[in-house]
Every structure is written in C-alpha cells, then in structure tokens.
Chain A
C-alpha cells in the first residue's frame, strides 16, 4: 500500500493533526517511504510466536489506600493555556 495524499488526510484526521495542503505532498512522500519499508514485516514468518507487548509480566499494582497530599490546584492551572476561576477554559463544545 502506498501512502497517497488521501491516506495521509485520513490518518492525520484520526490523529487529530491538521496538515496544510502545501505540506501534504511532503508528508505523503515521507510516509510512503516509511510505510513501504515497515511493510516488509508482513512477510516475516513468525510461526506461533505470541505478541510481546511488554518485556515484563505486567500486572496490576495495588497500594494501600492512604490519604496523601495531591498536587496544588493553582500550580496545575498555571500550566493551562487558558483558565478562568480555577477552571480550564475551552471554546464552545456544543454547537448552538
């Protein structure tokens, strides 16, 4: 499968990334080479090997439920690009 502009648009959309029209061609070229190379993996005979998500046996880690200090609200809000009255501020989510 080669990466054409249509495909780049589709995955950019899934990734929530806007790509300008004049950048599309460049991305399509890069991605065509990258995906083309990665696709060789399809031809490898992996037999009955089980997928390995993690090198360690990952298990749920529990701790005792002890109350402790959390982050300071003001410090967290300070990093927000837009805030008001101690809340994150966003554009309208529901269309009028």
Chain B
C-alpha cells in the first residue's frame, strides 16, 4: 500500500516513529507525481531538488528531538498564484509564464517554517478566473475520479493533487468558490476562511475584497492542522485582522448537539442534480440525527448574488490586472513599435480569452455612465446579502447548502458558454461577498461515481465550529478515496 494516501496526522505519526524518513517520503510523492501527472495535469512545476533538500532539513528537525510542528516533513503543493520566492509563479497565464517572484507569500513562509516540504506548483484557471481549470495555458486539469471530467476550479490542481495522492495537502485560493468547488468535484475537504483571517500577502490579486487563501486536505482534521499554521495577523496585508486565532484542533470532536443549522430555501429551490440534492439533504439528516436542530431559513437577496459577484469581482480584476504592462515583469509583445502598442499587444497576447472577458466586463461596469447603475448597484446588493446572513446568524449557528448544482462535468462541455459557467457559482459566491467562512466537505458519490460536497457556512471567525460540524459529516458519510482500480489507472 502506498504511503502517499495517508493524512497529515497519519504521516506525521509515521515520521515520528521513524517508519519512514522525510526524504524517502518526498521521493515517494515525487515518483507518484511523475507517474500520474501526465494524465491529471495537476502540477505545472515540480520542485525535485528543492523538495529533497527541504525534506533533509525537515529530517534534521525531526531528529533533533525538539518540539516540532505536525507539518514537519509533510509534502505540500501550492496553487500557482501564491508567490514562492525564486520558483516560477505563473497564474497559469502566458503573461507570467517566466515570472520568478522575488519574495514568498506569508502562507508559504509560515508552512516552510513549520517544515512542510514544497513538491511543486499547481495548475489552475488563469488568474483564478474560472470554475473548471480549463482556462489555463498548461492545458486542463483532469479529475482523478474520471479523467474525462474537469477537476473544478479555479484551484483544480490543488484539489486533484490531493485526491490523486500527489501531495498530502495543498493550498488554493477562493474568490467565489475556487477552493470549495474543486474540493467538492474531487472529493476532498476545502475551506475558505473568513476574509482577513489568512494573509493575502503574496497572493497574486484577482479581486482583492473577495480573495482568501484556504487549505485542501484529505480530511477535516488535516484542514484544522493547516489552518493552525496559516491563520493569523500579518502586518504585510492591510486587510489582515488582528484578533487571536482559535486552536482549530481543540474540541474538534465536540459534535453538533443542539447546534442550529439553517437550510436556505432560496438555495434548495434552485435547480440542481437530483443526486446532489439527495446527498446534501441526506448529510443534513445525519447532522440532525447527531443532535443538530435543522430548520429552513430565508436569505432573500442571495438570488442576486451571481450578477453582484461578477460585477464586483470583474471590476476589481480590471483594476488589479492593469498592472500587467509588459515593462517591469510579465509577457511583452515583440510586435510593439510604440508604448501604446506595447501595452495593448502585450496584454492581448499575454492574457487568455476568459481573463479578457472579465477585464472587459469590469471596465464596462466601471466606465462613465454605467458605474452607478452597475458597480455601485452591485455593492448595494452585496450589502443586502451580507445583511441576510447577519440576520440568519442571529438564529442559526451554521448554514448548510450544496457547493455546486452538479458534480464534475466533462472537459469541454461548458467551455463555450461563459454565462452558463458563471451561473453555476450560485451557492458559493455569497460567502465571499459577505466575507464569511465556508467549508466544503465530501458527502457521498452520485450515480456516476463522482463526489458530491456539502457546504457549511458560519459567522465570521467561526472556522472552528465549521470544522466541528464537518467532522460529524465525515464520520457519518465516510472519507472519500478513489477506488484502487481507478487509482492504479491514472
């Protein structure tokens, strides 16, 4: 049995009892990546030498007998929009194909400091814009459960690499569901923390008021371990919140007795696959059997969350991506003869079609004559959505919902219809608009054998409670892992 299917907790125990060494572990994973990456396409950069070197350092720490982090020697993968000093960070874009950041993101620095071992950088939708990891200069990520299907997005590589045993855990980023939806499609746990809980320093910006970095892991316990490492105040991120962090492992098994969980009628009235509805409601029923109190709740404004989200995120993107001018870093067109052409041609050749669509949408919403009726109006709707959640949390501890209306769809199936792709984000975008934490936890397989995720949302800074409830779902529905016969053929 491969060592590469273990959780962080299990692997940490093996490292401590010397059943395996950190270097041997890293090599096992690198071998696994070599075998599977040609069919999954989760990694865009593999750090062979650096990983072995980091593992040697981790082994020294393990040998030192000092008190060390559970993450010491544990392999990880990092989404390719999170800066890693001296290691290509491309955003899966031609624009940044050769970009080597001169600094590291805070999250990566923290994990490195704890001894986690970077295996490589993970494929994604270009600049994190998309829900299928098909919009990438490196070619689509394939879902390890069925390689004809998408892995979800935008953190598709982050989810697929965990599911296919090509890393123990990974980091993704979530602007409108980009951690939760691929986690759901690939049968792993994914958490979008409260806005401001995890530093965004070194995360290449898409929509700054919505972006958050989050972990993707094999189980809930691992998610808590990674959250303990990456959460907390960072003076280098001006939106980082300076309040103490919980210990996410403490009381993680306290159960859900008497917790009040709301089911938003607006979400469950939305069209979705029968299998998704059934699995989600059945997980909710299990929570009820374990003592939670389940009631319907109304969030009247969430029906408008998709247009509000796309107007706001595209507006922020059009502003954030204005920095790519082909001068200080990034792609430069060879055809330009003057400065104006240099901007226009570099951006035209460097950005993919979906990124251009978003920039155009955002520029339109911010342009004179439309700013008030589109962008400002979207911000007002955002307020109504946040107010809906605030009201709901006066009476409920958590809100339960699906993550996505369908399970993983086939590669290419939706690529030609951008609006259809956007509409799928109905269940995830409202948590980003309201800034609240949201967890995706696997809750079963559909009839095609593809994973379904349950989404749990909570008040700001209630990650600990989300994980507690997530653990109950995991205990009741079982951790999902890809059957051996599929795993062997990837």
Complex CA distance for A76 and B100, rounded to whole angstroms? 9
**B269 lies within 8 A of chain A by Cβ:** no
* CB-defined A-B contacts under 8 Å, sample of 16: A11-B360, A16-B343, A18-B345, A20-B348, A35-B364, A37-B307, A41-B381, A44-B381, A46-B384, A49-B387, A52-B379, A55-B195, A55-B434, A56-B239, A58-B238, A71-B102
Question: What is the minimal beta-carbon distance from A12 to any residue of chain B, in angstroms?
Answer: 6
CB pair A56–B348 under 8 Å, yes or no, is no
Give 19 new A-B contacts, CB below 8 A, not counting A17-B344, A30-B418, A37-B419.
A15-B363, A18-B344, A19-B348, A27-B356, A31-B360, A31-B361, A35-B364, A38-B310, A39-B374, A40-B307, A41-B311, A52-B386, A54-B209, A56-B195, A58-B239, A61-B235, A63-B235, A80-B328, A92-B339
Complex CA distance for A40 and B311, rounded to whole angstroms? 11
**B149 lies within 8 A of chain A by Cβ:** no
In the complex, identify which listed stretch (B4-12, B57-65, B329-337) lies at the interface while the others stay far away: B329-337
**B318 lies within 8 A of chain A by Cβ:** yes
Complex CA distance for A71 and B202, rounded to whole angstroms? 14
CB pair A81–B331 under 8 Å, yes or no, is yes
Residues of B within 8 A of A58 (CB): 238-239
Question: What is the minimal beta-carbon distance from A82 to any residue of chain B, in angstroms?
Answer: 7
Chain A 78-96, CB-CB to B under 8 Å as 1, else 0, gives 1111100000101111010
CB pair B359–A79 under 8 Å, yes or no, is no
Question: What is the minimal beta-carbon distance from B458 to any residue of chain A, in angstroms?
Answer: 14
Complex CA distance for A10 and B382, rounded to whole angstroms? 28
CB pair B339–A93 under 8 Å, yes or no, is yes
Describe A's contact surface by its main secondary structure. loop
**Interface size class, chain B:** 35 or more
**A72 lies within 8 A of chain B by Cβ:** yes
Chain A 42-56, CB-CB to B under 8 Å as 1, else 0, gives 101010011111111
Complex CA distance for A72 and B209, rounded to whole angstroms? 30
**A6 lies within 8 A of chain B by Cβ:** no
**B327 lies within 8 A of chain A by Cβ:** yes
Interface centre among B380, B419, B460 (most CB of A within 10 A): B380
Complex CA distance for A14 and B325, rounded to whole angstroms? 14
Interface residues of B (CB under 8 A from A): 98-100, 102-103, 195-196, 209, 235, 238-239, 241, 304, 307-308, 310-311, 318, 322, 325-332, 336-339, 341-345, 347-348, 351, 356-357, 359-361, 363-365, 367, 373-374, 376-384, 386-387, 418-419, 422, 434-435, 460
Describe B's contact surface by its main secondary structure. helix
Question: What is the minimal beta-carbon distance from A24 to any residue of chain B, in angstroms?
Answer: 12
CB pair A17–B386 under 8 Å, yes or no, is no
Per a CB cutoff under 8 Å, which of B99, B209, B332, B347 touches A18? Answer: B347
CB pair A16–B347 under 8 Å, yes or no, is yes
Nearest B residue to A46 by beta-carbon distance? B380
CB pair B332–A49 under 8 Å, yes or no, is no
CB pair B376–A56 under 8 Å, yes or no, is no
Known: A52-B382, A76-B102, A93-B339. A18 touches B348 (CB 8 A): yes
